[in-house]
Structure formats: structure tokens, C-alpha cells
With several copies, the nearest count.
Chain A
Amino acid sequence: MSSATGTGVRFCGIELAHPIINASGTFDAIAARRAFGDELDRRFPFSAFVSKTVTVAPREGNPPPRLWELPAGLMNSIGLPNKGLEGYLAHDLPELARLPVPLIVNVMGFTHDEVARLVRAFSSREEVAALELNVSCPNVETGTLIGSDPREVVALLDVVRPLTAKPLIVKLTPNATDVAAVARAAQDAGADAVSLINTLRGMALAPDSAKPWLGGTTGGVSGPAVRAIALAQTHAVCSELGIPVVAMGGVQTGADAAALQAVGATLVAVGTESFRDPLAGERVAAELDDLVVGAEP
């Protein structure tokens, strides 16, 4: 499945310098530039940049607290804060276009119409190399989590696939009985790639209280705690798919990335580990490269 040559890799027609990208919502290149200055661009850790989920309307996100630390992991209820489509196009896109790597825009809509609007808007922007569809959200009409139901995913892709020639990556939710079935449906409905895993639904109570800690009541679990689950789901999905897979979930080392590639992933995304060190992606890519080189006869 992987078309890596040395460390360079081709993904949906896009040439990438190495197989490590960031997970959506875990690296804000614009904020990082404020904190680290130009060094960010000179030493960008990822071979492509995936932006945080963009929605049609601006969103404030969930009330704090938004974070809860777990044994070997993290739980968040960020709630997809973003400037909305207009704000993103006006303020974020020009800044992100300056990055030295291709840009993948992650979008989410609460109706087919919203997703269609987002896909159409980005389809015509040459700054955008690919689109990632975040389907970890309920269909507001049916109430089902779109990403957990193959039929919902097909219905969505039937609407948006014809709207763009850009690569469409469907980001699957792990909170589903049969993730591989959803992935297969996405492939059959024209997705160019799938990505997984998004966060697992979790919850924590405030210490010394019986109240939920997170402002959003439940949150999404990520980090090393989900690594084995991510590998199992990636394995299941890759076993059934012909299109490329972007795998993520708890990646901390080149060995973790290599395992995801061994079960079939083309690209590997680093998420939570970037919180521990903004250069985690660079380290993972280097470690992976050493493993690949080391493994050659």
C-alpha cells in the first residue's frame, strides 16, 4: 500500500518529504509561529500540515475545562473552535499557505449542505492540496454519528465527491462497531483515502465531586493509551482497503509509526505527542527513517 521511496512518499498524488504529518487539531501552525517565530517554518516537523476542523459558522468551542490528563493519555473536549469558513479563508489560509509543506484542510458540516459548501469553497483554492472530512459528528436530521454508519458516509460522499477533484480523505471515528465496514463504504463511494483513529469517547469526574470535569461532559481520549486500539483498527481497515490510509493514535516513536505502516498505513500522523514536544513529529520521522534504513540488507 505504501509507495515510500527512501523517506519520500507519494500520497494521493502529493509528493511528501517523509510519511509523518500532524493529526488535525493538535498543531496550530499560526499560534506556533507566534511562539517560535520563523524557526517553525525553517524546521517544520511535518511533511504536510493538516489544519484543525473548519466549520461553516464560526465556533467558540466548549466551555472550559477542556482537558483531563489520563494514565498515558489525554482527554479533550475542545469543541472544534474555529473562525468559520469566511474567517478561515480570510485569516488562516494566507498564513498557512506560507508553510513549506502541502496543506490539508479538515472540514466538518452538520448537514450535507454545509459539507458541500466547505468542499466547494476549498476545491477552488490552489493553496489546498487535499481535504479531510471529519465525520465524527451527528447527522442533525437522523441523530446518528455519521462516521459510525456506512450508509451515512455513502450518502455524504454521494453529495460531496462530485464537487471536487482534490483528494478527499475521510477521517473515521473509532467509536463504531465495524470501522472497516465504514472505511469500505467510504472507498466505494469515492474517497481517495481514509484516516484513523479519531479520539475515543471518554469521561472523567472532577476530583472531590460527582460532576463531570469537562465542560463538554464527555471528551475524546488520545495518546499512548489508545495506541493498541489504533493499531487494531488500522489493521482491520487496511486489510480491506485498496486506497491509502493515514494512521494515527498514540504515536510517540518511529517504532510506533513503523507498526502502523507494517499493517498497511501510507502516512502516519502525530497528535498528542506534539503537546509533549512541538518537535515530536521531526523526531518520529527521523526514528522511522533510521528503522527503515536499518532494516535494509
Chain B
Amino acid sequence: MRGGDRVLAPFGARQVPIIAHERHGAYHVLRCADERGPRPRAGQFYMLASARRWGGGASQRPFVPRAFSVLRAPAGTDELHFLLDVVGPGTERLCELQVDDGLSILGPLGIGFRFPRDGREPLLVGGGVGIAPLAIWQDELGSVSALLGFRDAEHARGAALLSGARVATDDGSRGHHGLVTELLQERLVAEDHVEVYACGPPAMLEAVRAMCAATATPAQLALESGMACGYGACFGCVVPTTDGYVRLCVDGPVLDAARLQSALVPGAPQ
């Protein structure tokens, strides 16, 4: 555990205003102004909830806040950006928020990405909404390569959030027709001095993990699991590692791929 990869969160949820709500294809970007919080590290996340009417959706949910990687925290501003994909009552409610509505945030939480080992070249691999933590990491690292996979061209519009990304789509409507891991495979074959930073759906992460293991390429995976608290209180977000279960919210969400037998976390949001 390297404490240095964690920026401490102010204690307690705080309310901040939404200052912009943008659409990027199928995705939403919410920007808020976090006057009282520190600048997060790439790969850290926040627990978000609407300040008002958090609940009352499908199945009378949401009830607990929801975890979101920080997409971007532009230097010299107090802005935090989040990238959201509507998949259920929590993300639906958050994506209803408009400018000046209140957002409840707790964070930054968890441990983010660490710099590459032994002068390796960073290689970012993202799938779907999982591109979020890679954007802030690219901001920090400078212009490093990114391989991004999406369902279709409409979702692939999210690729504009990173610079110079190579894109793959499942339906071939933009970029490479196929999986982003196919692009990764090419790169792993061509070069051997990279460190992979990946975030995306479990199946993609598992493919990344297996490829990197096979080629002895170090990889840091930003995982997801169902969370209730985000700060280690509930023990609900565990994932199995070589050291047993670890709470993803305090010991992750970025884990070294070498610590995982599999990146297929049971019950993780897909």
C-alpha cells in the first residue's frame, strides 16, 4: 500500500453545485465546483448522490450514494468532472441534475494509479464508461497512448474526452471493428516496455489481465464492485485477491493485476 497515491478526503459528505451538465454521445458529464475539497489523484473516486430527492425511482431506489471515478479535475480550478452512464435508478437520478442543483459528494476516496515502474511507457486501455479515470491520468501523464473500446459510434463519442485515442467498436461503426483488447494484443506483441492502465467492464479487464500476465506486462486495473459507503465502513465492496478479500474502496479501486486471479468481480456493475 503506497499512501502517497491517496489524497485524503475531507470528513463528511459536502454539498456542491452542479456547474455544467454535458452530453458526450450516450454519456453524461457532470461538472461541479468543489471549493472545500482537495485535488484528487487519478484513479480516485467519489461517492455521489443528489442533494435532494435521492430516492423515489425504480424499486424506491436509490438509497445509498454511488461511486464514480473522477474524470477530470482541471488544474487551477476547483472543478470536478464525472462521466456517467445511465444504468439504473442512481445514475438516472444523477443525470437529471441541472446547473445549480446540489450534488452531495464524499471524496476523493481510495487509491489511484501509481506511476509506471522502471521507466515503462504507460498504455491506457479503456472500455465504455471505464474511460473516466484514464482521462485524468492522461492529463497527469501527458500525451500517452490510449486504446478505447465502445459498443458503437454513439458511445465512441466519449473517446473525445481523451486525446489521440485509438478506438474500437463492437459493431465496427467507428475505428477498429472488434474488441479493444485486440488493439492491446497488437501493442503487447509490438512493444515490451509498457505498463498497462485499464478500466472497463469486467470481461474486458479480465482479458487485459490475462494478456498482461501472459506477456509479463505490469498492469494496474481500476476495478468496480457494489459499494455502500466508499470509506471502508461496510465491508461490502470486497474483491478476491491473492491476499484474500480486500475492500476495493480503501485498498483500491486500482489494484495491481498481479494481485488478482481474475478480474471478474462477482456482482460488480456490468
Contact = CB atoms under 8 A, between A and B. Distances in A.
Do any beta carbons of A and B sit within 8 angstroms of each other in the complex? yes
Interface residues of A, number: 46
Report the 7 A-B pairs with minimum CB-CB distance, sorted nearest first: A31-B232, A65-B267, A71-B60, A279-B12, A67-B236, A275-B229, A39-B11
A40 interface: yes
A39 to B, nearest CB: 4
6 contacts: A27-B233, A70-B63, A224-B60, A252-B59, A275-B229, A278-B106
B236 A78 contact: yes
Contacts of B244: 60
Contact of A66 (B13, B49, B238): B238
A31 B109 CA distance: 11
B211 interface: no
A276 B60 contact: no
Interface string B220-233: 00000111110111
Interface of B: 6, 8-13, 49, 55, 59-65, 104, 106, 109, 225-229, 231-240, 244-245, 247, 250, 265-267
A61 B235 contact: yes
Nearest to B247: A31
Interface in A18-33: 25-28, 30-32
B269 to A, nearest CB: 10
Contact of A36 (B61, B231, B237): B231
A26 B234 contact: yes
Interface of A: 25-28, 30-32, 34-37, 39-40, 43, 52, 60-61, 63-67, 69-74, 76, 78, 81, 206, 213, 215, 223-224, 252-253, 272, 274-279, 282
Nearest to B64: A275
A36 B228 contact: no
Contact of A28 (B8, B64, B104, B235): B235
A74 B232 contact: no
A28 B12 contact: no
Given A65-B226, A78-B236, A71 B8 contact: no
Contacts of A215: 266-267
A26 B49 CA distance: 19
